[in-house]
Amino acid sequence: MKRIILTGALGQIGTELTVKLREIYGEDNVLATDIKEPVDSPLEGKPFETLDVTNYEEMERIAREFKADTIMHLAALLSATCEKNPHLAWEINMGGLVNALEVARNLNLQFFTPSSIGSFGPSTPKDQTPQTTIQRPVTMYGVNKVSGELLCDYYYEKFGVDTRGVRFPGLISHVREPGGGTTDYAVEIYFEAVKNGKYTSFIDKGTFMDMMYMDDAIQAIIDLMEADADKLEDRNAFNVSKLSFDPEILAESIRRHYPDFELSYDVDPVRQGIAESWPNSIDSSEAKRQWGFDAKFDIDKMTDTMIEAIKKKI
């Protein structure tokens, strides 16, 4: 990777990934794009283009003029948002992905897009879910993700596009506040702990989901993209995860800082239903074996980092 363009750069992953890539590859070699301008963002005042990912001609023009050799396609609607408007979700998530893959094919670019544990469903094995297993999601978000995984494999096999991807769990970060995901309670809980000393969770106790601290997620993307292609037996949809917990376990970690922290529940049936269709934990052994995936943040290290950063932020 030398000249990198990102779509959806103002999203949860995109903001921090753009900052990290610029540290490594140089500010002028990383072009951020999104449908809106960066305001009160770390990307404000830096190389940026507005882009609607459903507009193929504009996407190709930007990539061609930038002389990109890599495209990282991050623009997508998240799980709960997709359920509210499934037609729009298909239009953006799949239409945008096809456009980005076509740009990569026509301009001979290396390609990355993230999948998700949302690509699994109720019939998927719940514990230590293997990388290759049954995938029958029951949400539009999950349908998009499974379709995207297959599409990326197709573009690799049919056209030789160097497609790569991971299945992310819930990602936890203090830089961007939540934006419509089922795992967002695990971000909200930290902000509310610092601000108010209490939190009402929309996910029920005893509901385990995989999570990862954002720094580990960003490093995983870079490590996969820099990996030797000859060592990749798989191309896309690598399982990556570090943590699996429910709201009660996370609250106990927070109480090391705030002993009186109160956790209550007002369960959202839509997001609870989505969470229950996902695995409790996934097996990341293939990512470790094929390209050295190695997450660093355990739950207490993540909690310490989140609380310290949020205190400074607010």
d(CA 47, CA 78): 26
Tell me the CA end-to-end span of the chain in Å, nearest whole number.
36
At 127-142, the pLDDT tens digits run: 999 999 999 999 999 9
d(CA 16, CA 261): 29
Please tell me the predicted confidence (pLDDT) of residue 313.
87
Please tell me the predicted confidence (pLDDT) of residue 117.
92
Residue 53: closest CA among 36, 27, 34? 34
Q: What is the location of CATH 3.90.25 in the chain? A: 170-211+243-282+296-313
The residue from 25, 141, 155, 156 that is catalytic is: 141
Q: What is the location of CATH 3.40.50.720 in the chain? A: 4-169+212-239
Please tell me the predicted confidence (pLDDT) of residue 40.
83
Pick the CATH number of 4-169+212-239 from 3.10.25.10, 3.40.50.10470, 3.40.50.720, 3.40.190.10: 3.40.50.720
Please tell me the predicted confidence (pLDDT) of residue 180.
64
Q: Rounded to the nearest 5 degrees, what angle is found at the Cα of 242, between the Cα atoms of 286 and 272?
A: 110
Q: Report yes or no on whether pTM surpasses 0.75.
A: yes
At 26-65, the pLDDT tens digits run: 999 999 999 999 988 889 889 999 999 999 999 999 999 9
d(CA 167, CA 151): 15
Residue 244 has pLDDT above 80, yes or no: yes
Please tell me the predicted confidence (pLDDT) of residue 182.
83
Q: Is 141 a catalytic residue?
A: yes
d(CA 118, CA 76): 13
Q: Which tops the pLDDT comparison, 176 or 215?
A: 215
Whether 243 and 171 have beta carbons less than 8 Å apart is answered as: no
d(CA 261, CA 122): 33
Lowest mean pLDDT among 86-90, 149-153, 175-179, 255-259: 175-179
Whether 164 and 110 have beta carbons less than 8 Å apart is answered as: yes
> Residue 211: beta bridge partners?
170, 243
Say which residues have a Cβ less than 8 Å from residue 166's Cβ, sequence separation at least 6: 114, 115, 220, 221, 224, 237, 238, 239, 240, 287
At 258-303, the pLDDT tens digits run: 999 999 999 999 889 989 988 989 999 999 999 999 999 999 999 9
Please tell me the predicted confidence (pLDDT) of residue 42.
87
Average pLDDT over every residue of 201-226: 96
The architecture CATH gives domain 170-211+243-282+296-313: Alpha-Beta Complex (3.90)
Residue 176 has pLDDT above 80, yes or no: no
For 261, phi then psi, to 5°, come to -60, 130
**Percent of the chain whose pLDDT exceeds 70:** 98
Nearest-Å Rg of the Cα atoms of the chain is 19
Please tell me the predicted confidence (pLDDT) of residue 314.
82
